[in-house]
């Protein structure tokens, strides 16, 4: 009996490729493979594994034998989940393993924006530090300030934990349902979005991208924030109306922002680069050696389960099981 065929299209260490080869026939294609190369490879596959590629009907119409896709990511907004479910194609993701790493990065952005770290690092390296700094270079305190979490899932809760226990920050949060554990452990208080934006000194976005969250923070919402507030985005770029944010930062409508995600990625040129009051990182929420390996390993485990008749641990679309 011939082995099932798996195509690796991005982000997988060689040790894990070898593990897949113990079970399947494996083809590795470049992450930069164009649509024609990808489609030709997918047409022979029962399994796909990778990340950072949009996959829907157009990309998968030739993949008539496809059974499962293992995404090396938590978010799955790149996939047409309804289409996959209709075809009975299982989709898996990699939650949990990147929670703490991404929360660390969120707090890195918060601290960097509050204390103007990149700006003042550049100031020193450019040779401008020739006397004691004055108020024009002062940052803002973090300890004791109010932290607002928009989307208090695993990552949001981990950021809240860092703020409350590490910096004595009162915690506000907004979600579709109450989070009793946050309220009991940290005294967190649930707010409607508008009220959170008005009260918080730091607003951290950690919602998934969906029709409901696209453009969630626009000119109106930015106008509700304190002029001393700092906005952190760890979610997805389209959650923020980027031109509105740029204008708010230019006008000093809010103090600053820390961004790891953008409407267009990679971001090769942007008015954001001209603004001293924004920290820009290249979508590195989970980008540590340890976490990326753990994510890839979890994706491999999911794919092996899916293609050997077991239910994967991290199944995004369980309804697809009924279509098989």
Task: List domains and CATH numbers for the chain.
Answer: 5-95+289-323 (3.40.50.720), 99-280 (3.40.50.720)
The CA distance from 300 to 294, in Å, is: 10
Alpha carbon dihedral 295, 289, 210, 205, in 10-degree steps, equals: 130
Catalytic, out of 265, 274, 290, 310: 265
**Does residue 283 carry a catalytic annotation?**
yes
Number of other CB atoms surrounding residue 168 within 10 Å: 11
Q: Catalytic pick from 19, 53, 154, 283?
A: 283
pLDDT band at 1 (very low <50, low <70, confident <90, very high): low
Angle formed at CA 223 by CA 142 and CA 114, multiple of 5 degrees: 20
Which pTM does this prediction carry?
A: 0.91
Q: Is 23 a catalytic residue?
A: no
What is the percentage of the chain residues whose pLDDT exceeds 70? 100
Strands of the 230-233 sheet, one edge to the other: 189-190, 171-174, 147-150, 202-205, 230-233, 256-259, 278-280
Nearest to 70 by CA among 324, 286, 297: 297
Question: For residues 191 and 199, what is the distance between their CA atoms, to the nearest angstrom?
Answer: 10
Tens digit of pLDDT for each residue in 164-176? 999 999 999 999 9
Are the CB atoms for 149 and 200 separated by under 8 Å? Answer: no
Phi then psi for 71, rounded to 5 degrees?
Answer: -90, 135
Angle at 96 between CA 289 and CA 205, to 5 degrees: 95
- Of the listed 236, 255, 292, 298, which one is catalytic? 236
Catalytic-residue membership of 164: no
The pLDDT tens digits of the residues spanning 262-294 come to: 999 999 999 999 999 999 999 999 999 999 999
């Amino acid at each position: 009996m011939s082995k099932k065929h798996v195509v690796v299209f991005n982000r997988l260490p060689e040790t894990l490729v070898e593990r897949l080869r113990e079970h399947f026939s494996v083809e590795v294609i470049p992450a930069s493979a164009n649509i024609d190369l990808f489609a030709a490879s997918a047409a022979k596959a029962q399994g796909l594994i990778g990340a950072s590629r949009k996959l829907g009907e157009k990309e998968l119409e030739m993949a008539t034998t496809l059974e499962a896709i293992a995404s090396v990511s938590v978010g799955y907004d790149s996939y047409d989940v309804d289409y996959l479910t209709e075809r009975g194609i299982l989709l898996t993701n990699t939650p949990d393993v990147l929670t703490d790493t991404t929360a660390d990065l969120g707090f890195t952005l918060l601290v960097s924006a509050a204390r103007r770290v990149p700006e003042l690092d550049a100031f020193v390296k450019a040779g401008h530090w020739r006397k004691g700094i004055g108020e024009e270079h002062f940052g803002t305190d973090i300890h004791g300030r109010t932290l607002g979490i928009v989307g208090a899932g695993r990552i949001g809760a981990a950021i809240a934990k860092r703020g409350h226990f590490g910096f004595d920050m009162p915690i506000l949060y907004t979600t579709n349902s109450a989070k009793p554990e946050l309220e009991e452990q940290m005294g967190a208080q649930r707010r409607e979005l508008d009220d959170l934006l008005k009260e918080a000194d730091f607003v951290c976005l950690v919602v998934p991208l969906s029709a409901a969250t696209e453009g969630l923070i626009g000119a109106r919402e930015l106008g509700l924030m304190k002029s001393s507030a700092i906005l952190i985005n760890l979610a997805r770029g389209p959650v923020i109306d980027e031109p509105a944010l740029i204008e708010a930062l230019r006008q000093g409508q809010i103090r600053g922002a820390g961004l790891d995600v953008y409407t267009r990625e990679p971001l090769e040129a942007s008015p954001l680069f001209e603004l001293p009051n924004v920290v820009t990182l290249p979508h590195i929420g989970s980008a540590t050696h340890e976490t990326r390996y753990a994510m890839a390993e979890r994706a491999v485990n999911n794919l092996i389960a899916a293609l050997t008749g077991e239910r994967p641990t991290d199944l995004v679309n369980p309804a697809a099981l009924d279509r098989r």
